[in-house]
Structure 1
Amino acid sequence: MADYQNPPVEDPSASTQMFRAFVDEPQPQPATAVNGGSRTAGIAIGVIVALAIVAVALYFVTK
């Protein structure tokens, strides 16, 4: 039968070691931000492709 009145005594140095390992671990580098110029170019290309698809669809509908 388990003794719930007296919890097991933990090693205080173990929690300190775990804390130090957590603090000392290298932090992940944030993702590099996309350059503003390349992002704008990507959006422009996306808009042009979308307009081309709409134009082709309209061509086939009216044909």
Structure 2
Amino acid sequence: MTENYTDPSGNTAQFRAFVESPDPAAAAQTPSRLPLIAGIGVAVVLVALVAWLAFG
């Protein structure tokens, strides 16, 4: 470690600034939820279709 390393937990103001700072690398790599929502929708439709065929 370098000698000029500043610990963000050194005081409350520095820690809050560290926690609330945006991380552009993490924000850019956030995956879309659309495939998950579409997959759940398709699963619900398939379960309803199977139930309708089984009990209909």
TM-score by length of 1: 0.46
Bigger radius of gyration: 1
Report % sequence identity: 17
Match of 1:21 among 1, 11, 36: 11
- 1:21 Cα offset (Å): 1.4
Match of 1:43 among 31, 37, 40: 37
Structure 2: which 5+ residue stretches go unaligned?
A: 1-9
2:31 corresponds to which letter in structure 1? N
Post-superposition Cα deviations, 1:31-53, rounded to whole Å, max 9, x if no partner, equal: x55423xx111111111100011
Structure 1: which 5+ residue stretches go unaligned?
A: 1-19
